């Protein structure tokens, strides 16, 4: 919307902020909450030993392909060596006669299930913790994904199934919810959202992508369901000290704030201002089915995005261990 307010006007000059909370050089933000005690707390929620991997498949050639933010492309994988390599003259030769395959890939670092760097989105020329946005030119010198990847993310995860709570396979385009809805869904599930929980929210949107099997229809009037901005919601995230938001949508929040049309304000309010790490395009359906079957909605969450130097994000295959 051309008449949408500036981000600073929507969020306010006194927007909740964690800048400086962990010192002037911090690049981890709210992940600092995930100390050794939080790892041990998460381990206490493993009772059956079940594991669920939360990455979508990359490079599928059947069906609709890979769900991506508009303008990005899916992985382009290419065979460099295969059995055909050994058919011609001058083929490699190894003692014993072994053959092998090799391939390469060209990928958007945020072209699959992925972690955003804290410096991935900004406004008014400042990244997380007040770093100058000019530090992103040519390479993300500050608040890249590397510190997140070096730390790894381990703690108690809790899954809030908003689609199931509302009696749907998947939420509708542009359907919104807020922190009070999360609390209500948690109460209905019989679980509490506790301080320092890694908050996983299922909308069913990845299931919708594969069930619909029609990228053109999926992206028509592109507006994902998700959390929507309010000052109260941001304060809730700050008060709960949420380190990491994980969703099964491409951008973690409703694409355009309904009242003003501002794009992705929670990326700015939560990630840029509070240092909440965002994880997108997660596959949560199998985990949700298991949680619903036995009523256990908390688990040990473990994630290790790739250690990409100066990266704005990195692919990841998180694991939920029940």
Task: Tell the residue number behind the tokens 């800048």, with chain if given.
Answer: 19
Name 78's bridge partners: 104
CB 55, CB 113: distance < 8 Å: yes
Rg value, the chain, Cα: 21
pLDDT score of 205: 97
What single-letter DSSP state applies at residue 312? S
Instruction: Give SS3 for 269.
Output: helix
User: Contact, 206 vs 248, CB < 8 A?
Assistant: yes
Which domains does the chain carry? 11-67+108-321 (3.50.30.50), 76-106 (no CATH)
pLDDT of residue 61: 87
Which parts of the chain have pLDDT scores under 70? 1-2
| Degrees to nearest 5, angle at CA 78 with 77 and 79 | 130
Number of Cβ within a 10 Å radius of residue 320: 28
DSSP for residue 286: H
Task: Please tell me what DSSP assigns to residue 252.
Answer: S
Contact between residue 19 and residue 265 where contact means Cβ atoms under 8 Å apart: no
pLDDT for res 3: 87
**CA–CA distance, 135 with 212 (Å, rounded to integer):** 41
Q: Which two tokens stand for residue 165?
A: 């709570």
Q: Write out the H or E segment, with its range, that includes residue 33.
A: none
Query: In 3-state terms, what secondary structure has residue 26?
Result: coil
Closest CA to 230 of 176, 272, 188, 193: 176
Residue 2: what pLDDT?
A: 65
Q: Coil, strand, or helix at residue 133?
A: helix
Beta bridge partners of 253: 227
């Amino acid at each position: 919307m051309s008449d949408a307010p500036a981000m600073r006007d929507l969020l306010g000059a006194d927007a909740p902020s964690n800048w400086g909370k962990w010192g002037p050089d911090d690049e981890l933000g709210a992940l600092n909450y995930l100390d050794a005690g939080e790892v041990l707390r998460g381990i206490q929620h493993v009772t059956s030993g079940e594991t669920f991997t939360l990455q979508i498949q990359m490079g599928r050639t059947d069906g609709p392909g890979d769900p991506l933010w508009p303008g990005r492309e899916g992985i382009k994988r290419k065979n460099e060596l295969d059995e055909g390599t050994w058919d011609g003259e001058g083929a490699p030769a190894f003692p014993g006669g072994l053959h092998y395959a090799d391939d390469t890939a060209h990928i958007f670092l945020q072209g699959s299930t992925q972690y955003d760097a804290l410096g991935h989105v900004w406004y008014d020329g400042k990244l997380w913790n007040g770093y100058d946005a000019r530090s992103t030119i040519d390479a993300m010198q500050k608040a890249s994904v590397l510190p997140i990847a070096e730390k790894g993310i381990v703690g108690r995860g809790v899954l809030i199934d908003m689609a199931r709570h509302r009696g749907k396979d998947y939420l509708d385009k542009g359907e919104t919810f807020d922190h009070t809805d999360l609390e209500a869904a948690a109460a209905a599930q019989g679980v509490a959202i506790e301080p320092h929980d890694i908050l996983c929210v299922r909308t069913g949107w990845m299931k919708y992508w594969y069930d619909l099997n029609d990228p053109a229809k999926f992206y028509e009037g592109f507006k994902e369901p998700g959390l929507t901005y309010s000052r109260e919601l941001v304060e809730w995230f700050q008060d709960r000290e949420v380190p990491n938001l994980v969703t099964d949508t491409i951008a973690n929040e409703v694409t355009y704030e309904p009242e003003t049309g501002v794009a992705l304000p929670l990326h700015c309010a939560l990630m840029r201002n509070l240092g909440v790490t965002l994880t997108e395009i997660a596959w949560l359906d199998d985990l949700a089915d298991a949680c619903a079957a036995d009523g256990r909605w908390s688990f040990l969450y473990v994630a290790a995005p790739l250690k990409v130097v100066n990266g704005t994000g990195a692919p990841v295959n998180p694991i939920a261990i029940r």
